[in-house]
Structure 1
Amino acid sequence: MTPSSNFFSFMHLLLLFSLFNLIVLAPFNSSAQTLCHDDEHSSLLRFKESLVTNKSASFDPSAYPKVASWKADEDCCSWDGVTCNEVTGHLIRLDLTSSCLYGYIHSTNTLFQLAHLEWLSLADNHFNGSKIPSQIMNLSSLNSLILLDIHNCNFSGSIPSSLGNLTKITYLYLSDNTFSSQDSRSLSWMAKYSKLTYLGLSQINLFGEIPSWLMNLTHLTHLYMSQNELKGPIPYWLMNLSQLEELSLSSNRLIGNIPSQIGNLTQLQVLALGSNILQGEFPIALYDLDNLQVLDLNSNNLDSTVDMNMLFYKLKSLKYLFLSPNNLSLLTDTKVHTKFPKLSFLGLRSCNLIEFPNFLQNQDQLEILDLSSNKIASQIPGWFLNLSVELLLCLNFSNNLLTGFDQHPLSFSWTRLKSLDLSSNKLQGPLPVPPLSTRSYLVSYNNLTREIPPGLCNLNMLKILDVSHNNLSGKLPQCLGNKNNNFSGGIPENFVNGENLGMIDLSQNQLQGKIPRSLASCMKLEFLDLGNNQISDTFPSWLETLPNLKVLILQFNRLRGAIKEPKTAYAFPKLQIIDLSHNRFTGSLPSKYFESWDAMKVVNGSSLTYMQDLTIGRLHTGIDETFDILPSIYDYSMQLSTKGIELEYGRISYLITAIIFSSNKFEGQIPTSIANLRGLHFLVLSNNNLKGSIPPSMANLTVLESLDLSNNKLSGQIPQQLEDLTLLQCLK
């Protein structure tokens, strides 16, 4: 063959190869040229324009607005959160989790035109009470959607049955929304989800029994139905879902025994049954769950003896164990076993312990330990102080009979400790100084003596300190203070840790002098109680700029003079309780302040919550719920003179609002501006020099429970309009 013929043969093969590549291989090499389809590009942009972005719309601290980077002149397949099929160019995945999206989703939203979606997550955004439109069924037009995650989105209304058309779905996460109350049986259309592996239905207002349609979902590996109103027993047939790896039914109203068939769930890694009304014995079948990592039986009525040696020997994968409080008795006379699991979280509150558990000698990975409300009558052993040195975060030994620490000199080695609660024991000697990392230190109701050590002033992270009800003496250090000891002298002028303090309680001492102006720099302060002292000063108007102050108690002091007008229209914006009783204030009632106390203008009918620090001691296990693992770090408490008697509030509800100005020298008329405080529960103005008539507009105070105007110089009749105050229990 001549060189010329070789050349033409080579060119012929090259041409054939090029044609083959163009015709056959082009579809597999087209990802570089494939662009987002125009209709999907337009739908995404219109969806973006229908909402705004707001950082507060997402809870995740790492949240950011993904849609902010979407530009109209760019290929939508390159946008943040968007994934397209490399061959067809169709949008198949939209992940806008924690994207700070805020607004209302209407039924006409272009989101539901994305018919090729296989994966849709809008979780952790705020859709302002939107209802899930029935048009969501359009996402099933090609029957391609396999994942739908809309948890924590503030959706309302009912869950549409049109979701039942998504028959190929394997992952459905609807938890943490404000859906209207509905019977669990009304979701029977979910039985169509024959391929479902993940189902999140926690905190969605479900009531009724655990629904029987669940038995059809034989492929389930994750089932979450916590924080609802489910009642009745745990059905035995639920234990036939043998593929379950995580099961959460906590915070419901479930009753009866834990089924013995629970041993069938051999794949189970998380079992959360806490905060129900379960009773009976601790099931021996639980010992068969050797893959178990989280066991939460917290807050039930289980009544039996648990052999901790057997528990730890069998459940070698265990990391989180919560048995408190129940009626359990724990056998803790265990030998320290090298094969015991290394726990991270251990809750044994109210478990009838009478001695310090020696199995803790092996637990050097602990992050949170709760042994509170037992009957442990001994010293804390020295070996314990060397455990979990770099890991321990929260430690609660409160409400026991502990007398001290079996180590001298005492030295805490925990470098990350955030919360230490030793309150309500029998600790003796000087006050121990916790690690520098401590934010909450509670050691009230003990027998501690001597002065507060100056080393406490080095705790720059400290937010809450309670050393009340001890026998501490001497002058109050310049950096801190508390009540019910024998402190005297003046209040320290400078609060070193003021930027972190959430509560200051210096009540029931013999403190004199003035209220320090440096308190105005405590920008996180929520609770200030200086009551029952000998303070001589005027009204601390400089505190009105504190953005978070909810409770101000100055009762039983020597405060004097008129309360002047506020310097800002937003004075004390979050104030809910103010007690100035038993002082020497004069002049008119502070009508301008009444106009600015916005937190007292709201009639709050939401569920009962309390003023407390919940930032420490909550568990995130990877399941779709967060739950408390320790008692509250601190519950603000106080006394109010209402309804003619002294009432002590061990926990102050966010719903309580009160103005107590009794036993002063206020004069003039009751200002009409007080009628704007529609959320007011207690109003006590007795023992003053008030004149004139009772304003009929006070009938606007529709949630008022106690009204005391006695021992004044009021005239006229009680307005007939006050008959409309149906919640009023005390009128003087």
Structure 2
Amino acid sequence: MGKKFIRNDLLQAYQNLQLQKLTEITNSAYLGNLKEVGFAILFAFSFIFNFTFANFTASSVLPLCHDDERSALLEFKERHINRDLDAWKFDCRPKAASWKPEEGDVDCCSWDGVHCDKNTGHVIKLDLSNSCLFEIINLSRLSYLNLSGTSLSGQILSEILELSNLVSLDLSLNDGPGGRLELQKPNLANLVEKLSNLEILDLGDAFIRSTIPHNLTNLSSLTFVSLRNCELEGRILSSFGNLSKLLHLDLSLNELRGELLVSIGNLHSLKELDLSANILSSELPTSIGNLSSLKKLDLSQNRFFSELPTSIGNLGSLKVLDLSRNGLFGELPTSIQNLFSLEELHLSFNKFSGQIPSSLRNLTQLIVLSLSQNSYRGMIELDFLLTSLKNLEALVLSSNRLSLLTKATSNTTSQKFRYVGLRSCNLTEFPNFLKNQHHLVILDLSANRIHGKIPKWLLDPSMQYLNALNLSHNLLTRFDQHPAVLPGKTFDFSSNNLQGPLPVPPPETILYLVSNNSLTGEIPSWICNLNTLKNLVLSHNSLSGLLPQCLGNFSDELAVLDLQGNNFFGTIPDTFIKESRLGVIDLSHNLFQGRIPRSLVNCSKLEFLDLGNNQISDTFPSWLGTLPNLNVLILRSNTFYGIIKEPRTDCGFSKLHIIDLSNNRFTGKLPSKSFLCWDAMKIVNTTELRYLQDVIPPYGQVSTDLISTYDYSLTMNSKGRMMTYNKIPDILTGIILSSNRFDGVIPTSIANLKGLQVLNLDNNNLQGHIPSCLGNLTNLESLDLSNNRFFF
């Protein structure tokens, strides 16, 4: 899984976290009766402020800020806050932009981000988090420094090592115009060595790329450590168990390997532990049950393999347990029902088996229950389960071996569901509890046996929060209202028996997937209003008519355009825009005529182009060779004609893996120089197998399996028959030039394509000897040279 996040959500979460950290530090300052408090975020003025807490004296009038400090703030604004903010698209807000030198006495204590002592009027804190600050500030004598989300970039200055009094350092969530914030020289070990008083260390999203330094665990006062998404390598230190005061440890989204050490159980004060999205592989140690203060445990997206230890039941304070995307197996231990405080249980994408224990009904505080993609079996009376879990907002049971029973006449439950995933649960009708669920964000009922019509209540305008609706792979026949107007942003109705015209989506639609149905009519004009559409998949229906002229330019976001297997006719619109994001265009198996639109040259991200099985009449589009990412080109079964000219200067089609020009009217000799240009076919690919696909981003944080990916597919003449690839492996390579009028000899240059797997030159006018150098094509799996004029 990629390391990408919704920035606004992260910023909000971190802002809440900083408030909690600041409160703890402030309380400790007063409790310790400190004379000097430097926990404020300060800045590089030409002098250093010394802040001293005065003895409390009652006063009915709060003092204004001091003139010299107000002047210094304004000077700082002019020097350090970027003025051309529109040039950068960052989620930050320049707090200092509201600082204005108005006439008369101006109380700078009221300015955004500025906090003053109530008794003295001195500035004691300057919080510039999330403020578009594009350079680090020269600081001194501070105990609290928070520059999170300020768009800092580049190497952290070595001057930060001089802040030996720092108790709290937060440089997280920085990604400025120069890239990520880096900690290389000085590195993390240098920083930890110099800042030995640290209690809070948050470097989330900084580029560190190192192992965890051993001296980090020498900071015995640490209570909070976040090195999230820092590209850390190596192993988790066993000495972490010595940090007895640690409350929060986040090492997620790194490349840490090895096992989860038994010593982790020594952190008795720990409240949050997040090691998700690493490469940890071991059994879960029973010592994890010693973390009795733990409120959040996230070990998801690793390679843990074992049964869930019964000691997990000792975590009585636990609110969030996320073990999804591992290799955990067996049945859930009965001890999990001691976890009465549990609010979120994420166990998806594991190998748990047996029946879902009825004891889960005792977890009455559950808000999220996610058990998808396991091997649970048996029948579940859904209504019986829901009557106990009255706080449930997310229910994800998809892709197990379950049969869900629901009472069609039962009363609608009182819950306000937001996420419901019941894919492949042997449902035959829409569950009744979903009626009146107007807060639904994601609903996945795909791969069931639901028949009949899509009910009115599901398409009601009151479903205003619905973002993702997946009803694919069912037996649905029609919509229970006409015209069918859809709510939400993403829809997957593919692989049903739907009839009638295309349902009408709202303008903010992102995904529109209705392939493999029996829909009729033309593409309506409303398609031109979908300017945020990413995927348009209408393939394998009975649609017809001309394509709208806006089709190539109505959306800057369009990545997939799949209209194959319909009855569209006329010419293909020549309106594809520059810098188009289109990666897939599949217009095959229609009735298109005319030429290939030359504006396709604007689609620089195009990977897959299939115009096969139409009535297109044109010469070979050598100009498509300039597309830097073109991987698959299929022009099969049209009326293309003429010779394929050799490239004059620059080679083209360097990324091409598959080319199919069969069943056309090409003439002349095979393009020997072109074979020298097709670099991708020269490589015998030994990398990990991947498939060509467009990844559809998920909605929400409960499960990522609610909307599937779009897989590129093709049919190719290989091994003597037409083979369908519903998924195209990225190692597949092929040249299919059969059933044309090519003549002359097979050029020896074709032997350079050592990665070639399929070569089909059947049914041409080729002659001469079959070159012996074809023996160099050791990766070849299918060779067809029949129906030519070769001699031996």
Match of 1:561?
Answer: 642
Which of residues 608, 620, 626 is equivalent to 1:527? 608
Answer whether contact 2:632 2:657 (CA < 8 A) is retained. yes
Match of 1:464?
Answer: 535
Match of 1:396?
Answer: 470
Return the letter of the residue paired with 1:132: T
Question: 1:581-606: per-residue Cα shift (whole Å, max 9, x none)?
Answer: 33343455556655665655666555
SS of alignment partner, residue 111 of structure 1:
helix
Which of residues 165, 169, 178 is equivalent to 2:246? 169
Question: 1:280-337: per-residue Cα shift (whole Å, max 9, x none)?
Answer: 2222221222221221110122223323323333222222211111222223225675
Answer whether contact 2:398 2:421 (CA < 8 A) is retained. yes
Match of 2:168?
Answer: 92
Q: Do residues 408 (structure 1) and 482 (structure 2) align?
A: yes
Distance 1:220 1:694, change over 3 A: farther
Question: 1:606-625: per-residue Cα shift (whole Å, max 9, x none)?
Answer: 5444333333334325xxxx
Q: Do residues 281 (structure 1) and 349 (structure 2) align?
A: no
Q: Do residues 132 (structure 1) and 211 (structure 2) align?
A: yes
Partner Cα distance (1:33, 1:334) in 2: 60
Partner Cα distance (1:101, 1:714) in 2: 64
Answer whether contact 1:418 1:616 (CA < 8 A) is retained. no
Aligned-pair CA distance for 1:463 = 3.4
Partner Cα distance (1:595, 1:368) in 2: 50
Q: Do residues 342 (structure 1) and 416 (structure 2) align?
A: yes
Match of 1:158?
Answer: 235
Partner Cα distance (1:226, 1:250) in 2: 5
Aligned residues: 652
Which segment drifts farther, 597-606 or 401-410?
A: 597-606
Question: 1:333-389: per-residue Cα shift (whole Å, max 9, x none)?
Answer: 256757622111111111111112222222101111111111111211222211554
Aligned-pair CA distance for 1:261 = 2.6
Return the letter of the residue paired with 2:276: S
Aligned-pair CA distance for 1:529 = 0.9
Which of residues 632, 651, 660 is equivalent to 2:727? 651
Q: Do residues 444 (structure 1) and 521 (structure 2) align?
A: no
Answer whether contact 1:95 1:119 (CA < 8 A) is retained. no
Answer whether contact 1:116 1:139 (CA < 8 A) is retained. no
Q: How does 1:332-731 map to 2 (within 5 A)?
A: 332-333=406-407, 340-386=414-460, 388-412=462-486, 414=487, 417-480=488-551, 482-494=563-575, 499=580, 501-564=582-645, 569=650, 571-572=652-653, 574-587=655-668, 589-590=670-671, 607-621=688-702, 627-664=703-740, 665=742, 667=744, 670=747, 672=749, 675=752, 681-684=757-760, 689=766, 704-706=779-781, 708=783, 710-711=785-786
Partner Cα distance (2:626, 2:131) in 1: 32
Answer whether contact 1:563 1:587 (CA < 8 A) is retained. yes
Distance 1:474 1:69, change over 3 A: closer
Return the letter of the residue paired with 2:205: D
Partner Cα distance (1:489, 1:564) in 2: 28
Question: 1:174-197: per-residue Cα shift (whole Å, max 9, x none)?
Answer: 3333344x344xx22323323222
Q: How does 1:196-207 map to 2 (within 5 A)?
A: 196-207=270-281
SS of alignment partner, residue 459 of structure 2:
helix
Answer whether contact 2:289 2:313 (CA < 8 A) is retained. no
Return the letter of the residue paired with 1:69: E
Answer whether contact 1:557 1:582 (CA < 8 A) is retained. yes
Match of 2:202?
Answer: 121
Answer whether contact 1:202 1:227 (CA < 8 A) is retained. yes
Question: 1:206-264: per-residue Cα shift (whole Å, max 9, x none)?
Answer: 33432222122222222222233333322222122212111122222322222233221
Aligned-pair CA distance for 1:406 = 1.3
Which segment drifts farther, 140-149 or 279-288?
A: 140-149
SS of alignment partner, residue 120 of structure 1:
strand
Which of residues 244, 259, 266 is equivalent to 1:192? 266
Match of 1:14?
Answer: none
Which segment drifts farther, 447-456 or 592-601?
A: 592-601
SS of alignment partner, residue 383 of structure 2:
helix
Partner Cα distance (1:87, 1:115) in 2: 10
| Aligned-residue RMSD, C-alpha | 4.0
SS of alignment partner, residue 456 of structure 1:
helix
Partner Cα distance (2:754, 2:365) in 1: 55
Distance 1:152 1:589, change over 3 A: farther
Unaligned runs of 5+ in 1: 1-23, 37-59, 622-626, 717-732
Q: Do residues 70 (structure 1) and 140 (structure 2) align?
A: no
Return the letter of the residue paired with 2:403: S
SS of alignment partner, residue 325 of structure 1:
coil
Partner Cα distance (2:416, 2:630) in 1: 42
SS of alignment partner, residue 433 of structure 2:
helix
Answer whether contact 2:324 2:346 (CA < 8 A) is retained. yes
Unaligned runs of 5+ in 2: 1-31, 45-88, 93-129, 149-155, 552-561
Which of residues 14, 24, 36 is equivalent to 1:28? 36
Aligned-pair CA distance for 1:438 = 2.3
Aligned-pair CA distance for 1:567 = 8.0
Answer whether contact 1:367 1:388 (CA < 8 A) is retained. no
Q: TM-score, normalised by structure 1?
A: 0.78
SS of alignment partner, residue 35 of structure 2:
helix
Which of residues 259, 265, 271 is equivalent to 2:333? 259
Answer whether contact 1:242 1:266 (CA < 8 A) is retained. yes
Partner Cα distance (1:159, 1:461) in 2: 43
Aligned-pair CA distance for 1:441 = 1.9
Which of residues 187, 191, 195 is equivalent to 1:111? 191
Distance 1:539 1:75, change over 3 A: farther
Answer whether contact 1:97 1:121 (CA < 8 A) is retained. no
Partner Cα distance (1:690, 1:236) in 2: 74
Return the letter of the residue paired with 1:161: S
Partner Cα distance (2:639, 2:490) in 1: 36
Distance 1:403 1:707, change over 3 A: closer
Answer whether contact 2:313 2:338 (CA < 8 A) is retained. yes
Answer whether contact 2:512 2:536 (CA < 8 A) is retained. yes
SS of alignment partner, residue 229 of structure 1:
coil
Question: 1:452-497: per-residue Cα shift (whole Å, max 9, x none)?
Answer: 4344344333333333333334444445572222333333333589
Distance 1:72 1:604, change over 3 A: farther
Match of 1:330?
Answer: 404
Match of 1:214?
Answer: 288
Match of 2:365?
Answer: 291
Aligned-pair CA distance for 1:681 = 4.7
Partner Cα distance (1:240, 1:30) in 2: 40
Answer whether contact 2:348 2:373 (CA < 8 A) is retained. yes
